[in-house]
Amino acid sequence: MASAMKVSVGNGGAVLEDVPHLTKWLPGLPTYENPLKHNPAYSAVRQYFVEDTDVVARDVVVNVNTTGEGIHFRRAGLRDKIYFKSEDVRACIVTCGGLCPGINTVIREIVCGLWTQYGVRDISGIEGGYRGFYSRNTISLNPKVVSDIHKRGGTYLKSSRGGHDTHKIVDSIQDRGFDQVYIIGGDGTQKGANAIHEECKRRGLKVAVAGIPKTIDNDLDVIDKSFGFDTAVEEAQRAINAAHVEAESIHNGIGVVKLMGRYSGYIAMHATLASRDVDLCLIPEVPFYLHGPGGLIEFVHHRLRENGHMVIVVAEGAGQELMAETMGSLDKMNDASGNKLLLDVGLWLCNHLKEHFLKAFREPLNLKYIDPTYMIRAIPSNASDNVYCTLLAHSAIHGAMAGYCGFTVGPVNVRHCYIPIARVVATSRRVNVADRMWARLMSSTNQPNFAQYSHAIQQSRKQNATKRREEEALSNGSSTANVNGDDVKLDSTQKEPIEMIEIGNK
């Protein structure tokens, strides 16, 4: 699937990771003057047009002796020459994967941009994600139809997971005569877009495939930040505020908020940093453990004793291994796109806290659990995300019109670029816990550095495994269990010792 990236080195030593161009397999394609040259809004300032030699550096913090070297991407924007005659263009737009604030703005701006800037009149919407290419009729799009959609959350075109069939999709592209395909979606979608691009190239088609990166988890590599992320973080504040109000208004109150973040804890990290009311932030990148010195329970005791209440933010992908260990081996279920379905860490954590504190105090814990998972993504984008979405859409249009293909558009160090799709999907971005941002969070929450206790995590894992095997054996009616190779005698009357701890001021 992954195509080799075209890499060249400029005279100044700059390495360009380039995106494909239609002329690579269709040499001699005719070119046309960009109509924007005569558009009053764009024609006045020459610098609006991007030169073929304009590139953007991936790293802007460089050693003074190495400036000019390093990886660069082609700068996005309008070109003098274009490879499509406006009246011939047949464009289509598809949205795939989970929702994200701003998808409708991107759709709207692709339609309006193609229409008003380039005079394109044939624009179709593919309904219901990739499978819509071969199982649905198209929707005709024009500025009137999409004029208000940016005020609504979700996707006007509907979305889906699964259903990517490269051959059927490219057959449909060919049959319908599409020559510009705009694909809005996350890592899975971009992989699918690359496969479509490769197949179009193999068939020698004049089809520009342009990917617009969408991921609320902010887990796509290379680009600065994904659209909708800021909106989601902002919305998460409402849940955190509610958790905080509930927690501080009652003796020994705990508010737990679960936020999205399958493998990357960006939303949880930024929402925590923005709020300042959060005492503990759990993300997939940092394994944690509950019991023992340096563990989560000890910290909760400490914080309640200190403040009388606390707020925990947990990313949905946090603690997955720990849960699997304590709950036994669960069937690994996947969604239609092959993404692993997660265990519910929010409920699990709340249950463990309640159980533990009931034993410790012999009275129920005042714990309020808020799960705003879908609320933070099913909303329209905020003002700054709207502007960002507009830029993404316009950059994508300029790139496709200029004959570039197999690219994902996005800002790198604030400048929009055309990035080879293969580069964007090569690795997915995770919170770097050795980076300053996580350090800022740690110093804001003063939470334990679980990473320092890797030996304790190992120890806790062994104990969990042992406990689970014993419990399984007991429930099977056995009097012994195999623990680390030894048959251990079991006592069904054995109970965990009750630990009495004084917390908070009663």
Ligand X SMILES: Nc1ncnc2c1ncn2[C@@H]1O[C@H](COP(=O)(O)OP(=O)(O)OP(=O)(O)O)[C@@H](O)[C@H]1O
Q: Which is nearer to Mg ion, 70 or 162 (CB)?
A: 162
Q: Which of 20, 102, 153, 185 is in the footprint of ligand X by CB under 6 A?
A: 185
Quick check: 127 binds ligand F6P (CB under 6 A)?
no
Nearer to Mg ion, 163 or 403 (CB): 163
Q: Does 211 bind Mg ion (CB under 5 A)?
A: no
- Say how far residue 114 (Cα) sits from the centre of its chain: 27
Shortest CB 163 distance to ligand F6P, Å: 14
**Residue 262 in contact with ligand F6P, rule: CB under 6 A:** yes
| Residue ranges in 420-453 assigned as alpha helix (H) | 421-426, 436-445
| Comparison of 251 and 340: residue with beta carbon closer to ligand X | 340
Residues in 313-352 at the binding interface with ligand X, rule: CB under 6 A:
337, 339
Does 335 participate in binding ligand F6P (rule CB under 6 A)? yes
Q: Are strands 139-141 and 180-185 parallel, antiparallel or unpaired?
A: unpaired
CB of 65 to ligand F6P, least distance (A): 41
Residues 6+ apart with CB under 8 A from 272: 240, 278, 281, 313, 441, 444, 445
Residue 189 or 464: which CB sits closer to Mg ion?
Answer: 189
Number of residues that bind ligand X (CB under 6 A): 20
Torsion angle (degrees, nearest 10) of CA 429, 432, 437, 441: 110
Closer Cβ to ligand F6P, 66 or 334, answer by number: 334
Judge contact between 469 and 462, C-beta under 8 A.
Answer: no
Please report whether residue 260 would count as binding ligand F6P according to CB under 6 A.
Answer: yes
Among 185, 186, 372, 406, binds ligand F6P (CB under 6 A): 186
Residue 164 binds to ligand X (criterion: CB under 6 A): yes
String marking each residue 152-191 x if it binds Mg ion according to CB under 5 A: ----------------------------------xxx---
Q: Is 215 marked as a binding-site residue? A: yes
Q: Which residues contact 436 (CB under 8 A, 6 or more apart)?
A: none
Answer for the pair 260, 377: CB distance below 8 angstroms, yes or no: yes
228 binds ligand X (CB under 6 A): no
Please, which residues have CB within 8 angstroms of residue 249's CB and are 6 or more apart in sequence? Answer: none
Asked if 107 and 184 touch (Cβ cutoff 8 Å), the reply is: yes
Spell 33-66 as b/e; 16+ CB within 10 A means b. ebbbeeeeeeeeeeeebbeeeebbbbeeeeeeee
User: Which candidate in 217, 219, 279, 385 is catalytic?
Assistant: 217
Residues 48 to 107 in contact with ligand F6P, rule: CB under 6 A: 97-98
Q: Tell me if 431 contacts ligand X by CB under 6 A.
A: no
- In angstroms, the Cα distances linking 20 to 4, 209, 210 are 10, 10, 11
* SS3 of residue 9 by DSSP: strand
187 is in an annotated binding site: yes
Sign of the Cα pseudo-torsion (196, 201, 206, 212, in order) = positive
- Is residue 195 at the binding interface for ligand X, with CB under 6 A as the rule? yes
Find the shortest distance in angstroms from Cβ 382 to ligand F6P.
Answer: 18
| Residue 377 is assigned to a ligand binding site | yes
User: What's the rounded Cα separation, in Å, for the pair 185 and 170?
Assistant: 18
Q: What would you report as the CA-atom Rg of the chain, rounded to the nearest whole angstrom?
A: 27
Is 261 within 8 Å of 284 (Cβ atoms)?
Answer: yes
State how far Cα 253 lies from the chain centre. 32
CB 319 within 8 Å of CB 280 = no
Task: State which of residues 96, 401, 419, 473 lies at the interface with ligand X (CB under 6 A).
Answer: 96
Is 333 a known ligand-binding residue? no
Q: Is 486 a residue of the active site?
A: no
Site for Mg ion contains 20 (CB under 5 A): no
Residue 429 interacting with ligand F6P (CB under 6 A): no
Place of tokens 């994508």: 396
Residue type, 26: L
DSSP state for residue 93 in the 8-state scheme: E
Q: Check whether 216 is labelled as a binding-site residue.
A: yes
Q: Which does 316 bind (CB under 5 to 8 A by kind): ligand F6P, ligand X, Mg ion, none?
A: ligand F6P
**Largest CA-CA distance found in the chain, in angstroms, rounded:** 87
Assess 226 for contact with ligand X (CB under 6 A). no
Q: Is 162 annotated as a binding residue?
A: yes
Residue 153 near ligand X by CB under 6 A: no
- Site residues (vs ligand X, CB under 6 A): 96-98, 129-130, 161-164, 185-189, 191-192, 195, 215, 337, 339
Q: Which residues are catalytic?
A: 217
- Site residues (vs ligand F6P, CB under 6 A): 97-98, 186, 216-217, 260-262, 316, 335
Q: Summarize the annotated binding site for Mg(2+) as residue ranges.
A: 187
- Site residues (vs Mg ion, CB under 5 A): 186-188
Q: Summarize the annotated binding site as residue ranges.
A: 98, 161-162, 186-189, 215-217, 260-262, 316, 374-377
